Structure 1
């Protein structure tokens, strides 16, 4: 009844407390983490090398990561007198990919969380030159990546440059680690293009490519029957010559009139790095810039908001062909927040109706709910 009698004072107190709480959140004194890290009973390291990496190199790095886990276990054994890692498993998904999993002893038998162990494991691994992506995960459940910025463009060069610039900015944040992108570069490629002189001589792009293919891959000249099998006979350059670009530059190309000219007259060679995987959404090429966040030091929402407000405008100004959208935890947080807002609104309406009916008043339920 006192709240009803002094309703304006009650309203003022409510507004003042609300403003103070919002101020705590905005100033960072009270941090808000939508998806907190829940420690699991296992840890996992995912290693990805560039396309074309030998399995020996990937295996070498996987063993180094395994040794780092054993080193961490030895450190805690000396400190606590017991193991923290129960089992280790190394799994190779491909020549350039590996996964190292560590099963931990029960949480009741150790005095350190899996998240703290994962941070120490990451430090023990150190720098691995030439690695495309390396991530350490020790959280239970799946809520999407803490930082996941999806870039879209039809211009591959601008897409690559924009991703590199965002990665450099993410590396400046305290508590942000394992910064990577999904750009899957392939091996070295040679792009052969016909010159204007070649076109003037009547040579086409397809004919030039066909002759180069026949010289290096081979041209079928006949087929021989050996019992029940048919053997195809190809003619091409010797193996030693096929391994050198100088052979391509010095080869002779036949023109439509039967004459021959050097390759340099009718064609050019452009060396580049290919793309082994192309991801498209709505017919646009897509590259995701991803990172993990130490939620004891910062929050993913704070990092994403800073990137969106201070970095993305400058990046998009330098690369106008690139568009972006937020994915991962930011996308899920927005979806869940919208659902919570709708649920809260429905709940308030139901509570108001439940109070208004017995009180037979429109105003009193609002005072009570306030």
Structure 2
């Protein structure tokens, strides 16, 4: 029988993400339907399978398989893939409606009109993911598929929007024909269309909800344009307030999200030199105790291995008779009666009270192996002093709340028998240390006395004492040394007459890092977020005094967390600089990029508020990646909106105030739609509520959702608030910045005029 089949877990995770992809696609199509109707929504939604098809070809060419990171990237990119197609299709529809152009002419003009803003907005989004492709280290190896997949898929969506969407629009979108057909249906309604709930929903949204939304939005924008300073000040005031609230009520910071484990293990470590039978008896005791825990009914199987170790310093783990491991595998989540966190605590509580055994319970980690959540590295020269310091650190942090399974990697030593030869006494008998050592070696390990040949095979004949005569130190003390002295006399003297035999221990391994001896104190975290436990551990260690030449350092996952946080901070700054550079090249202005980047900073309001409202701990990896991705996604709508303002002003006949109101009203539909599509695409992962498209039933609390939830919450709340910022704050701030720039230009212009006048006099 197969004792540990990881393919079941992998298959389950892939299936859940596949369901999320299909559910997200369904929600995106439904949102498009409510604003565009059935035909247009289907035309736009074809961008999803077409872009993914192109993406699959590219991923396959790069040798990237459909792992869980790739599948999540597909879920995230679902709503973004239709953004470019929405802009092209919606603009084509508008050209036919407002200018009365034919489908072919409208498709050409509409695609050409939005060519630059669509290209710029997509490139800015790609620039957010580009720095993530250069993520170093083991975490980078795990997350690298995320930027690769997004960059490939978004590039494919740009191709679809430029080449396929205009063709679709020219072929199937005919405003005049659609209006005539709609009038005919109103005059002679078919009973199916008259009572079809989808048709009723579409007309309700298109004729009632959206016009009302447009009116309210225009009124709001007029109000903010009259109070630009107040609006800008209030926005930054809300940002500061949310930052304070986040500091007070946040749920802490984790490296990777803390998810319910599907497997836990109990490691057994007995004193060095313990026999395999004794270690096995301890494992049997633990197996008996596991039968009585309440969570036993959720356990699929228990597998025990004795004489093996998962410690890399044990050279593959074979031949370690003092170590063992019990693996506990759970049923899938929907078949469990309680949380596996509860079962984990039950297992941990039942491992106490076994004399001489050091037991440690660990859960299966999601994500790459980054070390223990708490890892304190003590370095110095004297190994004995390091052992004392490690004990001192353990005692100091032992009772930190949430810190469990605390241990260090100091090896107390393997028991051995030490024979110390007295050279003076050996000299009296005219024997040498070599003779004594060879006799002991022959008695215990044996010597090759001869060879035995059978055909072509040859075997060594090894001679040594019987097993009953070499099992204890007493047997060594009774050993006689037989030798020929210098006078030619054959003597046989007891070993104890020339040597002292005693029991002792010796360190079997010494670990070094950067040429210094190191002992590591490590532990797991349960019941609290990692950042809070690390904070308490750090403060307690700071109270200790270490001798000169000895240092203490937090390593393990904390070290990797700091590296990841530093990289993501740099990636965010690089993203902002790339976005700024791209927008400067498009708008030939510093004002527009500055305005749009303000909306990126203000989008953090939504991120922090979302984490507080949902009670989600911030994850260095997931939340950090979400913020970096958000920086690229947020600017898309701002670029399209302000580019439209620029076109209106270039055409002439409108003031800036009128152009901003007109652009906001016209771009309201695509801005709301693109944001709604992106939000709805990741909604199943944020809520854990999904639909199983293979077995046709709803799923509540999918396992994969726990892992990806912080990133999904970051995208949903950040993008929701940034949509409001794009529609209201961006035009308002742009108007204010334009007034300031005009005043500054006027001031310097007058100064230059005065200067030139003085020179002429």
Please classify the TM superposition score into its range, dividing by the shorter chain length. Answer: 0.7 to 0.9
What residue in structure 2 maps to residue 301 of structure 1?
531
Deviation at 1:180, TM superposition (A): 1.2
Task: Find the counterpart in structure 2 of residue 49 from structure 1.
Answer: 270
1:263 and 1:289, CA in 2 relative to 1: closer, same or farther beyond 3 A?
same
Unaligned runs of 5+ in 2: 1-224, 309-320, 603-761
Q: 1:122 & 1:304 partners in 2: Cα distance?
A: 21
| Matching residue of 1:14 | 239
* Alignment correspondent of 2:508: 276
Deviations 1:133-189 (A, max 9, x none): 422325544443111222333311012112222222232112211111222333223
Mark the CA change 1:55 to 1:265 in structure 2 (over 3 Å): closer, same or farther: closer
- The answer to whether the Cα contact below 8 Å between 1:197 and 1:265 also exists between their aligned partners in 2 is no
**1:342 pairs with one of 561, 570, 573:** 570
- Deviation, 1:293, is 0.9
SS of the residue corresponding to residue 254 of structure 2 reads coil
Q: Give the one of 589, 596, 600 matched to 1:360.
A: 589
1:135 equivalent among 357, 361, 369: 361
Describe the SS at the equivalent of 2:283: helix
Instruction: Give, in whole Å, the separation in 2 of the partners of 1:132 and 1:272.
Output: 21
Alignment of 1:123-272 (within 5 A): 123-143=349-369, 144-190=371-417, 208=433, 211-212=436-437, 214-215=439-440, 217-218=442-443, 243-244=472-473, 272=504
Q: TM-score, normalised by structure 1?
A: 0.74
In the aligned structure 2, how far is the partner of 1:367 from the partner of 1:235?
84
Check whether the contact 2:394–2:407 (CA below 8 A) recurs between aligned residues. Answer: yes
> What displacement does 1:354 show?
5.1
Residue 8 of structure 1: CA displacement? 4.2
Please give the secondary structure, in 1, of the residue aligned with 2:253. coil
Shift of the 233–160 alpha-carbon distance from structure 1 to 2, 3 Å rule, reads same
Q: Which moved more, 1:242-251 or 1:346-355?
A: 242-251
**DSSP-derived class of the 2:414 partner:** strand
Residue number among 294, 299, 303 corresponding to 1:89 in the alignment = 303
**Local SS of the residue matching 1:125:** coil
Richer in helix (by share):
2
Q: Deviation at 1:324?
A: 3.4
- Once the two structures are superposed, residues 186-223 of structure 1 have per-residue CA deviations (whole angstroms, 9 ceiling, x without a partner) of 3223556688989x99x9xxx65763563565599995
C-alpha distance in 2 between matches for 1:39 and 1:221: 57
Aligned length: 351
List alignment gaps of at least 5 residues for structure 1. 78-82
Choose 1 or 2 for highest CA Rg. Answer: 2
Q: 2:162 maps to what in 1?
A: none
CA RMSD of aligned residues (A): 4.3
Structure 2 equivalent of residue 314 of structure 1: 544
Any idea what the Cα deviations from partners look like across 1:319-344, whole Å, max 9, x if unmatched? Answer: x3433332221011111101210111
2:287 aligned with 1:63: no
The Cα of 1:126 is off from its aligned counterpart by: 3.0
Contact 1:3 1:10 in 2 (8 A): no
CA distance in 2, matches of 1:348, 1:160: 49
Equivalent residue, structure 2, for 1:110: 336
**TM-score, scaled to structure 2:** 0.39
Richer in strand (by share) = 1
